[in-house]
Amino acid sequence: MVGRMSPHSCAGAAQGPRSRVRCPHSTAYVLLLRGVLACFLALALSGCGLAGKGGAQDDPRAASPAAPPVAADDGQGDPVPYAVAIEAGGGHKDLLEQMRSVSQLVRLKHEPPDSLLALERRARADVETAVRLMHSLSWYDGTASFRMDEEARPVQVTLGLVPGERYSLGSAHVVYDPAPAIPPAFVNRTRSAGFWGLDAEPVPPPSFPDVLPGVAVGSPVIAQDMLAAVEALLQSLQRQGYPLAAVTDSRYVLDRESRTLHATVCIDPGPPAAPGPVEVRGAREVDPAYLQRLTPWATGREPWDADAVEDYAAHLRALGLFRTVEVRPLAENLVPAAGEDGIAVLPLEVTVAEAPFRSVGGSARYDTDTGFGVEGFWEHRNLLGSGEKLTLAAPVATQEQGLRAAFEKPAFLVRDQRLLAAAFALREDTEAYKKTAAGVSTDVERRLSRYWWGSLGVKGESGSISDEERDTQAFGFFAPRLGLRRDARDNTLNPADGSDIRLELAPYAGMYGSPFTALGATLSASGYYAPLRKGGRPDDRLVLAGRAEAGVMMGASLRTLPAAMRYYKGGAGSVRGYAHQSLGPRNSDGDPLGGRSFQTVNLEARYKITDSVGIVPFLDGGMVYRDEFPRILGDMRWGTGIGLRYYTPIGPVRLDVGFPLQPIGGDPPAQIYISIGQAF
């Protein structure tokens, strides 16, 4: 077992007073920072003391852990209207703004007190708050006072702040007691999110800094920053295998001669531990074993990672099975390490409250070229007790009517694998063909790494079809298919950052008057970039989005392929501004024939005017070709336009108006599209 000790000691801190103390004015030479922080921020560091160099210690019993209560009125006399002004020596605009945000005089100005005495109590309360505020911002010599002009109408109250010289951080040491133990299992590790070890990366051994990270020596001592730095250190340890790490004592010493503060934080790292078995409470219809299979760690073998625990909780919430989810470690059930180099095992408890599993809903859309369409659906999200989802849908539109069914079984055999099955019976009546058919598909999809997924499956379809070149004829095909995708989007419904790349290969064997074989392949790549940042994360007020897509069908002539297996582009989802299926080869009557290859390009600038309303200028381009391979950007048709988005929790409602830049004869000058969800 590897151990470490800091050259500093917790002994002095442990002997310091552990009570809250009052926040004295600058005349005091001894302060307890815990009192300062607790007074203003209502937070505390257990056992924390602050002493001034050469000074006496304040009486711990005089502590005041919170801001003073709102001054009560006398309940007698007429209201006393007043005006308030806040001044600070040396300017200090930030200090003035913060004082205004916490001032009782400012906050209660429109509720005048019933007497001058009550107004004075408000002012005195603000004086105490001002001193606490200055202390929390590193002005430990700060003083405050007030004056009242009782003859003025309204009464004038002036609050004066004198911050004095700002203190800086002299040192910030961290002491670990007992010394942390680093078992061999925590050293020379790699982390991989996938089945094949893709994206594997080395994991450094646990680190125990001797100096408090996140605060800089020589910078002002901001109470909130100090508390945040201590909390960040604890979270770091809890991500590295030490779930029970806790602050046991802290000491903050002011040196008034050098105007510096010296901090020592004492931490008990706790035993190195691995996540143990999961105990599920509150599950009635959901199988607890299913929730236990979803844990993203090897039980009892991997170092505890607080982020992984939070990811697990977030995954459970995203299942759509529960109203509430709480995941917590069972510290009282900790299993101690077996042997000097062993790892303790910390069980977890998952408490859930189940939500309704069944829902009924619908959607509607409108396109100028295809008319109105509606779809109703029924969904069960826990069909067999392990999160299995069954969705039955009935689309009714001008060009399509029928039934669809989709089934998904998550954690199929292993955690990061799912079984997907679908079936349909549809009638389609488009400009290119008329089809009545039924089909089925089955796929197994597995996570290969953090972003990569692979799938293997089969699909088949059988029915009858007719087009302008051939009368109604039976057709059918069978195709195994292989899929690969890399999904690094930050949000699947409304992405602001990341990318989505998809590849599918499918060798077809079928019958359409005579046997045929073909190899189909499609590749699409979407990217999203938010040039603005908010809190260090992409800001979705402005998102630049792009997509490129191409497909080929090799090994069969255009006439050999059933019309429904050919590629068609134009309209919503491909090239807006042009009619549905209008791009590409046509017969002598101008009817679309479809093609054996295609390419499309889509560009959008998604700008939010408000949190719920946005505009989207766009540029689309594309073409369908008779040949097996597309001509890169050759003979492309381009369309442009503007869209309106109304953002809802289930995705944006989309209204797009597209204009063809190279109109095809007979096309209207514009197309309108209304639906739910982003275009891509």
Q: Which CATH number belongs to the domain containing residue 577 in this structure? A: 2.40.160.50
Please indicate, yes or no, if residue 595 is contained in any of the structural domains: yes
Beta strands in 68-188 (DSSP E): 82-88, 143-149, 155-162, 168-176, 181-182
Beta strands in 217-302 (DSSP E): 246-255, 260-268, 273-281
Q: Which SS3 state, helix, strand or coil, does residue 96 take?
A: helix
Please indicate, yes or no, if residue 463 is contained in any of the structural domains: yes
Please indicate, yes or no, if residue 264 is contained in any of the structural domains: no
Helix, strand, coil in percent for the chain, rounding step 5 = 15, 45, 40
Q: And the tokens for 42?
A: 């209502």
Please indicate, yes or no, if residue 99 is contained in any of the structural domains: no
Burial of 422 (0-12, 13-18, 19+ CB in 10 A): middle
Q: Which SS3 state, helix, strand or coil, does residue 643 take?
A: strand
Q: And the tokens for 133?
A: 């505020």
Regions of the chain where pLDDT drops below 50: 1-7, 12-72
**What CATH code is carried by the domain that includes residue 281?**
3.10.20.310
Q: Structurally, how many domains does the chain consist of?
A: 2
In this structure, the answer to whether residues 479 and 615 fall within a common structural domain is yes
- Where helices occur in 66-190 by DSSP H, the ranges are 93-102, 104-107, 116-136
Cβ neighbours of residue 238 closer than 8 Å, sequence gap 6 or more: 245, 304, 306
Domain ranges, residue 561:
446-676
Cβ neighbours of residue 130 closer than 8 Å, sequence gap 6 or more: 99, 142, 144, 159, 161
**Residues 532-571: tens digit of each pLDDT:** 988 788 899 999 999 999 999 999 999 999 999 999 999 9
- CA–CA dist 223, 219 (Å, integer): 12
Cβ neighbours of residue 151 closer than 8 Å, sequence gap 6 or more: none
The confidence score (pLDDT) of residue 470 equals 87
In this structure, the answer to whether residues 453 and 568 fall within a common structural domain is yes
Alpha-carbon torsion (350, 355, 356, 359), positive or negative: negative
Beta strands in 382-432 (DSSP E): 389-397, 400-409, 417-429
Stretch (H or E) spanning 668: none
Cis peptide before 347 (omega within 30 of 0): no
Closest by Cα among 328, 426, 418 to 375: 426
In this structure, the answer to whether residues 544 and 653 fall within a common structural domain is yes
Q: Which SS3 state, helix, strand or coil, does residue 509 take?
A: strand
In contact, 366 and 373? CB cutoff 8 Å: yes
Angle at which helices 93-102 and 116-136 pack, to 10 degrees?
Answer: 130
The confidence score (pLDDT) of residue 289 equals 95
Last residue of a domain, one of 338, 354, 370: 354
- CA–CA dist 26, 611 (Å, integer): 47
Please indicate, yes or no, if residue 201 is contained in any of the structural domains: no
The confidence score (pLDDT) of residue 340 equals 67
How many CB atoms sit inside 10 A of residue 45's CB?
A: 20
- CA–CA dist 321, 387 (Å, integer): 7
In this structure, the answer to whether residues 587 and 472 fall within a common structural domain is yes
In this structure, the answer to whether residues 645 and 542 fall within a common structural domain is yes
In contact, 58 and 49? CB cutoff 8 Å: no
Tell me the residue length of the chain. 680
Closest by Cα among 226, 248, 256 to 51: 256
Specify the residue for token string 């006496």: 56
Please indicate, yes or no, if residue 437 is contained in any of the structural domains: no
Cβ neighbours of residue 471 closer than 8 Å, sequence gap 6 or more: none
The confidence score (pLDDT) of residue 52 equals 47
Please indicate, yes or no, if residue 612 is contained in any of the structural domains: yes
211: which DSSP letter? B
The confidence score (pLDDT) of residue 43 equals 31
- Where helices occur in 241-345 by DSSP H, the ranges are 288-293, 306-318
The confidence score (pLDDT) of residue 89 equals 81
The confidence score (pLDDT) of residue 180 equals 92
In this structure, the answer to whether residues 589 and 476 fall within a common structural domain is yes
Q: And the tokens for 241?
A: 């295998």
Last residue of a domain, one of 303, 326, 354: 354
Please indicate, yes or no, if residue 594 is contained in any of the structural domains: yes
* pLDDT above 70: percentage of residues in the chain: 87
Closest by Cα among 242, 238, 205, 199 to 416: 199
The confidence score (pLDDT) of residue 193 equals 57
Q: What DSSP string runs through 33-61?
A: HHHHHHHHHS---TTEEEEETT-PPP-GG
Note the pTM of the prediction, 2 decimals: 0.75
The confidence score (pLDDT) of residue 200 equals 63
Burial of 414 (0-12, 13-18, 19+ CB in 10 A): exposed
**Residues 63-79: tens digit of each pLDDT:** 333 444 444 455 556 89
- Counting other chains too, the contacts that 187-194 makes at CB distance below 8 Å and 24 or more residues apart are 187/2, 189/303, 192/449, 193/447, 193/449, 193/450, 194/416, 194/447, 194/448, 194/449, 194/450, 194/452
In this structure, the answer to whether residues 524 and 650 fall within a common structural domain is yes
In contact, 114 and 122? CB cutoff 8 Å: no
Last residue of a domain, one of 328, 354, 380: 354
